Amino acid sequence: MLLDSLPEAELPATAQELAQMVSLNHRHARLTNVSANDHGMVVGGDVSITAESGSLAGGVVTVEGGISLTDPFEGRPRPQ
């Protein structure tokens, strides 16, 4: 979507910057020995999994460090 929204003159430089970011990411992943299977993700920071309007959200988490769980309805009325 980003590339589609740019003027044609900016595409080569933007594509080159994106390629450099992907390359750095691949090098960092190899150095830190982290990986994710199909449809997975590796995150170095906070992740928030939320559901709205009474829907359901979930995730499977493998953690090195700590986990903090909060009430999903904190500050909102619970669905009936």
Distance set, CA 66 to CA 44, 61, 62 (Å): 12, 11, 10
Return the number of other C-beta atoms located less than 10 Å from residue 14's C-beta.
13
- Residue-range domain boundaries for the chain: 1-69
**pLDDT score for 19:** 86
Q: How far apart are CA 29 and CA 44, in angstroms?
A: 11
**pLDDT score for 74:** 77
The pTM of this model reads: 0.34
Using alpha carbons only, give the angle 1, 60, 39 rounded to the nearest 5 degrees: 35
**pLDDT score for 27:** 65
**pLDDT score for 28:** 61
Give me the tens of pLDDT residue by residue for the chain, a chain 80 residues long.
Answer: 878 888 999 988 988 888 888 887 766 665 566 677 787 777 777 778 888 888 888 877 676 666 667 776 777 787 76
The sign of the CA dihedral 32, 2, 51, 71 is: positive
Which amino acid type is present at position 4? D
